[in-house]
Chain A
Amino acid sequence: MSEAATLSLPSRLEVVDHVRSLGRALVAVMPIHYPRAMLRAHQLHPMEIWGPPHVERHEGSRHFQAYTCDIVVKAMSFIRSGGLDATKAILVPHTCDALQGMGSVLGDFLQPDQRVLTLYLPRGRRSSDHEFLRRELGRLARTLVEVSGHEPCRDDWDEAFEAEDAADAALADLYRRRARLAISDRDFYTVVRSREYLTAEQFCDQAAALPEGEAPQRGVGLMISGIVAEPALFDQIEAMGAYVAGDDLACGFRRVYSASAEADPLERAANRLLTSPADPTCGTPIQVRVDTLQTRMRALGARGLLIYDPKFCEPELFDVPLLRKHLNAAGFPVLHVEFEMGDRLPYQTLSRIEAFVETLS
């Protein structure tokens, strides 16, 4: 296993203090895609919620069907127990039916003190999808003025886009430089995921400070797909004699956006969101996902695909049988594992991953 992390990331609490000192208020944001620059232009800062640790399901589970995923149920438990009291609003993008349900339960029934904001995302990349998204973003922007009491001027928008585009570029650059970064997979993904709560500037500083040299990755290269991977998984994979050659994670590579140079802020925000890589929650056709994964796996030297999902993640589950079929046909073995967030990974799950690594060795 790698040596202890050498990173020095600000804690969430430190970030909260910092953004408050900048005059920005906090917005809790559920996964996956949302317009970061728009929040910043309104003097708001996103704190993303991807299944908070040390939170039980029971409080949240009262409001959902028994099969709803941990990301949604645990976030609801967290909200109900006052974990998000410091935020001014909760933004729930329509990533999947579970999150749409959460937006409705919060906005229509529970009505917490924070304003509940929804964002309907299109399921395609046609011009009608673009137009729909632009209108949705316009609606969201108007609500954000009410939440923040701040109507952004041209300079606010420019400053926000400049900062967030730089952070997006830093994330894309991290992926490009991965093979030259002398850090473990755990550290790499800790930095990638720090985008979930750091300011754009803090994230750029962290990314720039990572040491270059020989990457310590050894053994069997895996591609990891899914929604979110917790840090312990990376240690386990390393101990099994494997490494993460690349990812197709919602909390990782699926959020490598390209910047747009449009002058109109809504147009610019919509363009950015529509550049996200292949993603089942964005309605990417299965053949496009298969082709993209194959190309990336070949380029990155990944020998197999590990699909690692929270239990009952509907959009992911729909694609699994076809991904398996097509990638197997292309010579890439696939393992699908479902896990419960926050649990120690059970022996069976670890054994399955280890056996998968052995079959690839």
Chain B
Amino acid sequence: MSRVAAIGIDAGSTTCKLVAVDQDGTIISSLLEPTEPRVELQVQRMLDAIRAEHGANSSVRTIATGYGRKLIKDATRNLTEITCHARGVFRDLGCAGTLIDIGGQDSKVIQIGGDGRPVDFMMNDKCAAGTGRFLEYTAARLGVPVPELGARALSTAQEEPISSTCTVFAESEIISLIARGAEPDSILRGLHRSLVGRVVSMVRNVGIVAPLMLSGGVAKNEAVREMIAEATVEDVILPGEPQLMGAYGAALLGI
């Protein structure tokens, strides 16, 4: 008999994640891929792969989250990212607190209660400010690969202030900074500060209940972590697999 008790799917706008858990909520298997245009077909393929790998059949409870969640026909149920991220991080780190999740297209701040459920939350509005996309677009202007962004931003003490949190305006600011001969790493440092400023203002709106936790793809960026800690004067802790927390929480909610 298969060990898989439930499967969580996070059909995000940038990446698509699947997590299979056993009856105790331990991760048995996970998959992560960049999101394809037909996310429903992609998820089906990933689901088939994970089921085949563990001999699980289609009756295993499957919970979908993320922006493409409603397209997943095989899902037993779909739930928002807020509920799933809260549950995943709560289980992984074992505590209540304030979670900042910075994804590719949106970011959210969730206050997690003592039972792992969201108590209060905030999401950024419908633009790319305060999201991974902001860093991605603007860094593309500087020709820096995304995995190197954080280290490059921390490699200098010089910082070029970027006053705009809007991706379009920030891009024109970068162009004028380049034209003035500013160092790319100093510009990157300014870009990170701008993103963190936007995220921290959301954190303040929701209110900080320690500890401060960080999840989502951008959690891997060390400059973002450091600047959030600096701005909030709080330690920032990370779950083991920050990018998988939505899918993990979804799987846990399926047990």
Q: Which residues of A contact B (CB under 8 A)?
A: 333, 346-349, 351-352, 354-355, 358-359
A355 and B112 CA atoms in complex are apart in Å by: 13
CB-CB under 8 A from B82, the residues of chain A are: 351-352, 355, 358-359
Closest CB pairs A-B (n = 10): A355-B82, A355-B80, A346-B126, A358-B83, A354-B80, A359-B118, A351-B80, A348-B123, A348-B126, A352-B123
CB of B240 to closest CB in A, whole Å? 24
Of listed B80, B121, B125, residue having the most chain A CB within 10 A: B80
| B30 in the interface (beta carbon within 8 A) | no
Is B124 a contact of A358 with CB atoms below 8 Å? no
Residues of A within 8 A of B159 (CB): none
The listed residue (B79, B106, B119) touching A348 by CB distance below 8 A is: B106
A341 to chain B, nearest CB (A): 15
**Closest Cβ of chain A: how far from B157's Cβ, in Å?**
36
Q: What are the residues of chain B within 8 A of A354 when measuring CB–CB?
A: 80
In angstroms, Cα B180 to Cα A111, docked, is 51
Q: How far is the CA of A358 from the CA of B85 in the complex (A)?
A: 13
Interface flag for B171 (CB, 8 Å): no
Is the CB of B117 closer than 8 A to any CB of chain A? yes
Minimum C-beta distance from A201 to chain B (A): 44
Per the bound structure, the CA–CA distance linking A358 and B110 in Å amounts to 13
Is A359's CB under 8 angstroms from B123's CB?
no
B66-105 contact mask (Cβ, 8 Å, vs A): 1 or 0:
0100000000000111110000000000000000000000
Complex: chain A residue closest to B121, CB-CB: A355
Task: Give the CA-CA distance A349 to B118 in the complex, in Å.
Answer: 17
Name the residue in A333, A346, A347, A348 with the highest tally of chain B Cβ atoms < 10 Å from its Cβ: A348
Contact A347 B118 (CB under 8 A): no
A323 to B176, CA, bound (A): 45
A331 CB to closest chain B CB (Å) equals 12
Q: How far is the CA of A66 from the CA of B38 in the complex (A)?
A: 38
**Assembled-state Cα–Cα distance A359/B116 (Å):** 11
Least CB distance from A104 to B in Å reads 31
**A348-B126, A352-B123 are known contacts. Are A358 and B81 too (CB-CB below 8 A)?**
no
- The interface of chain B, by Cβ under 8 A from chain A, is 67, 79-83, 106, 117-121, 123-126
* B174, chain A: closest CB distance, angstroms: 26
- Cα separation A359 to B84 with both chains bound (whole Å): 11
Closest-by-CB residue of A relative to B110 is A355
Query: What is the minimal beta-carbon distance from A355 to any residue of chain B, in angstroms?
Result: 4
Q: Are B81 and A351 in contact (CB under 8 A)?
A: yes
Bound form: Cα–Cα A359–B119 in Å: 7
- Name the residue of chain B whose CB is nearest to the CB of A347: B67
User: Which residues on the B side are within 8 Å of A347 (C-beta)?
Assistant: 67, 126
In the docked arrangement, what's the CA distance between A348 and B80, Å? 10
Q: Are B79 and A351 in contact (CB under 8 A)?
A: no
Bound-state CA distance A270–B54 (Å) is: 74
When distances are taken between beta carbons in the complex, the residues of chain A under 8 Å from B124 are 348
Q: Is the CB of A348 within 8 A of B121?
A: no
Q: Which residues of A contact B80 (CB under 8 A)?
A: 351, 354-355, 358
Beyond the given A351-B67, A352-B82, A359-B117, please list 9 additional residue pairs across the A-B interface where CB-CB is below 8 A. Answer: A348-B126, A351-B81, A352-B121, A352-B123, A354-B80, A355-B82, A355-B118, A359-B83, A359-B118
Instruction: For residue B120, give the distance in angstroms from its CB to the closest CB of chain A.
Output: 8
B residues less than 8 Å from A352 (CB atoms): 82, 121, 123
| C-alpha gap A346/B119 in the complex (Å) | 23
A355–B124 Cα distance when bound, in Å, is 14
Complex CA gap A249/B161 in Å reads: 44
B81: chain A residues within 8 A (beta carbon): 351, 355
Among A346, A349, A358, contact of B79 (Cβ-Cβ < 8 Å): A358
B79 contacts across to A, CB distance below 8 A: 358
Residue in A closest to B83 when the chains form the complex, CB atoms: A358
B54 to chain A, nearest CB (A): 28
Most chain B C-beta atoms within 10 Å of own C-beta, residue among A347, A349, A359: A359
Please, which residues of chain B bring their CB within 8 A of the CB of A348? 106, 123-126
**In whole angstroms, how far apart are the Cα atoms of A346 and B117 in the complex?**
24
Question: In the bound complex, what is the Cα–Cα distance between A249 and B255 (angstroms)?
Answer: 40
| Closest residue on chain A to residue B124 by CB atoms | A348
A355 to chain B: which residues have CB within 8 Å? 80-83, 118, 121
Across the interface, which residues of A come within 8 angstroms of B106, CB to CB? Answer: 348
A193 to B121, CA, bound (A): 32
The smallest C-beta distance from B74 to any residue of chain A, in angstroms, reads 19
Residues of chain B contacted by A358 (CB below 8 angstroms): 79-80, 82-83, 118
CA distance A351 to B70 in the complex (A): 11
| Most central of A351, A352, A354 by chain B CB within 10 Å | A351
Alpha-carbon gap, A352 to B80, bound state (A):
8
A and B contact pairs by CB, cutoff 8 A, 28 listed? A333-B119, A333-B120, A346-B126, A347-B67, A347-B126, A348-B106, A348-B123, A348-B124, A348-B125, A348-B126, A349-B126, A351-B80, A351-B81, A351-B82, A352-B82, A355-B80, A355-B82, A355-B118, A355-B121, A358-B79, A358-B80, A358-B82, A358-B83, A358-B118, A359-B82, A359-B83, A359-B118, A359-B121
Q: Which of A347, A348, A349, A355 has the most CB of B within 10 A?
A: A355
A359 to B67, CA, bound (A): 18
- A212 nearest CB across to chain B (Å): 34
Q: Which residues of A contact B119 (CB under 8 A)?
A: 333, 359
Give the Cβ gap from A330 to chain B, nearest Cβ, in Å: 15
